[in-house]
């Protein structure tokens, strides 16, 4: 790479019926895909819509499709995803496009609720903080999936979501599994029933697209397998 | 049946099918290697209760497993309602059972 080298960038413009527009951006030694999108928005196309917040891989808001794969753009270096100085950047798959690179995340978060992906405790503010042993199998299983940042990369990578739009998806089911392993939670039976339906964990084919693309290196496929085992046992006990 | 019960039925039928398929494949290899004619095979299977039970279980397990699998494929490919999916699944299970039991009857009766 030398001074003055350029990147050829194609960026999705418009809604679902939009198309790719070509831009040229400077190729730098150390730049992320989000840096490139920001440079284009500030220097070539002020109307370009995209979403970001923290820029350090914590908030989960900047995920896009980069050269065909869903990625968190703030932590994806250009040198990692292109060898020929070409980038194609689009909105995430499986979500409605609002404009350009911005997707409507409503259905994604609705599914978290449908999977009862919210903590329901029994303690009040007057109780002491519960002591959780970190080395129990349940806590280890919860910790394995707890670092999800809700970026929807796994949801965009999932073929089952593409085929079956009702499917709750890997992120919501991973969240449900972490709560099933939280000994403080009191809604385990209701949550198991919520993930045992047609749109729930049994729809997963274990293709592991979610696991392959998760920027936090989580394993939603393993979480879903755990839910399948739990539902299996609950059915044999006559509880589901 | 609920989706969770269907999942359990499909896994349990798979567990039943796994050894039966291996025995079935072994039997085919044995019959071919040994050069048995169709008449010789039928002479061994006709009136044999063991093979009748073996292949009846095989057919029922395959019908359950296959019908639930077809339901999953259709649910991902076509926007059918749950009622239609279940109707088609039960229909497939009955159809596969009838075909299979007809074949079992042909070799053991």
| Boundary-marking domain end, from A54, A76, A103 | A103
Asked if B50 and B72 touch (Cβ cutoff 8 Å), the reply is no
Distance from CA of B96 to the nearest CA of A (A): 23
Q: To 10 degrees, the CA torsion angle through B82, B86, B87, B91?
A: 150
Number of domains within chain A: 2
What span, in angstroms and rounded, lies between the C-alpha atoms of A92 and A95? 6
In this prediction, residue B53 carries a pLDDT of: 95
Domain that residue A33 falls in: 6-103
HSE toward the beta carbon, residue A141, CA cutoff 13 A: 20
- A68 inside domain: yes
- Using an 8 Å CB-CB cutoff, list chain A residues near B7: 202, 228, 231-232, 235
Final residue of a structural domain among A84, A103, A122: A103
Q: Are A145 and A178 a contacting pair, CB within 8 Å?
A: yes
At a CB cut-off of 8 Å and minimum separation 6, what does A131 contact?
none
Q: Are residues A53 and A137 in the same domain?
A: no
Of B3, B77, B82, the CB nearest to A202: B3
CA distance A73 to A147: 18
| Closest alpha carbon within chain A to B85 | A198
| Residue A24 is assigned to a structural domain of this protein | yes
Whole-number average pLDDT of chain B: 93
**According to the model, what pLDDT value does residue A3 have?**
63
Q: Say if A31 falls within a structural domain.
A: yes
Per-residue pLDDT of chain A (240 residues; tens, 9 = 90+): 666 789 999 999 999 999 999 999 999 989 999 999 999 999 999 999 999 999 999 999 999 999 999 999 999 999 999 988 999 999 999 999 999 999 999 999 999 999 999 999 999 999 999 999 999 999 999 999 999 999 999 999 999 999 999 999 999 999 999 999 999 999 999 999 999 998 999 999 999 999 999 999 999 999 999 999 999 999 999 988
- A166/A93 same-domain check: no
Which CATH number covers residue A210? 1.10.1060.10
Within a domain: residue A1?
no
Q: How far apart are CA A227 and CA A53, in angstroms?
A: 32
Based on the domain organization, do A183 and A111 belong to the same domain? yes
Tell me the DSSP string of A1-33. Answer: --TT-EEEEEEEESSTT-EEEEEEEE--SS-BH
Instruction: Give B8's contacts in chain A (Cβ within 8 Å).
Output: 232, 235-236
pLDDT at position A1: 62
CATH number at residue A29: 3.10.20.30
pLDDT at residue A4, rounded to an integer: 75
> In this structure, what DSSP letter does residue A170 have?
H
Domain positions in chain B: 3-108
Topology, domain B3-108: 3 helical TM bundles of succinate and fumarate reductases (1.20.1300)
- Closest chain B residue to A231 measured between Cα atoms? B4
Domain check: are A149 and A73 in the same one?
A: no
Which residues of B are less than 8 Å from A163 in CB distance?
A: 76-77
Between CA A186 and CA A190, with CA A188 as vertex, the angle to 5 degrees is: 105
Domain termination site, one of A103, A120, A154? A103
Do A185 and A80 share a structural domain? Answer: no
Residues in chain A: 240
């Amino acid at each position: 790479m030398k001074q003055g080298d350029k990147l050829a960038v194609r960026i999705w413009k418009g809604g679902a019926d939009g198309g790719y527009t070509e831009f040229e951006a400077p190729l730098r030694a150390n730049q992320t895909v989000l840096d490139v999108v920001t440079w284009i928005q500030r220097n070539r196309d002020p109307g370009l819509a995209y979403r970001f917040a923290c820029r350090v891989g914590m908030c989960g808001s900047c995920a896009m499709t980069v050269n065909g794969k869903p990625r968190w753009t703030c932590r994806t270096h250009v040198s990692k995803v292109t060898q020929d100085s070409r980038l194609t950047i689009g909105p995430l798959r499986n979500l409605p496009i609002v404009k350009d690179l911005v997707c409507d995340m409503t259905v994604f978060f609705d599914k978290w609720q449908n999977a009862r992906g919210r903590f329901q405790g029994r303690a009040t503010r007057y109780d002491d903080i519960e002591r959780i042993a970190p080395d129990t199998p349940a806590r280890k299983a919860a910790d394995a999936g707890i670092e999800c940042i809700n970026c929807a990369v796994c949801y965009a990578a999932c073929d089952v979501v593409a085929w079956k739009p009702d499917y709750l998806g890997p992120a919501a089911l991973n969240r449900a599994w972490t709560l099933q392993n939280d000994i403080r939670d009191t809604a385990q039976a209701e949550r198991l029933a919520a993930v045992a339906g047609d749109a729930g964990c049994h729809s997963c084919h274990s293709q592991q697209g979610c696991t392959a693309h998760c920027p936090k290196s989580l394993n939603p496929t393993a979480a879903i397998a755990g839910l399948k085992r739990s539902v299996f046992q609950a059915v044999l006990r006559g509880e589901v | 049946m609920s989706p969770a019960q269907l999942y359990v039925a499909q896994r349990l039928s798979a567990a039943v099918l796994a050894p039966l398929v291996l025995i079935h494949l072994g039997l085919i290899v044995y019959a071919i290697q040994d050069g048995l004619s169709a008449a010789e095979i039928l002479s061994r299977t006709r009136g044999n209760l063991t093979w009748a039970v073996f292949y009846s279980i095989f057919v029922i397990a395959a019908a359950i497993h296959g019908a639930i699998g077809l339901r999953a494929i259709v649910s991902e490919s076509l926007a059918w309602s749950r009622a239609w999916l279940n109707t088609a699944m039960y229909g497939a299970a009955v159809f596969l059972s009838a075909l299979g039991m007809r074949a079992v009857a042909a070799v053991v009766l």
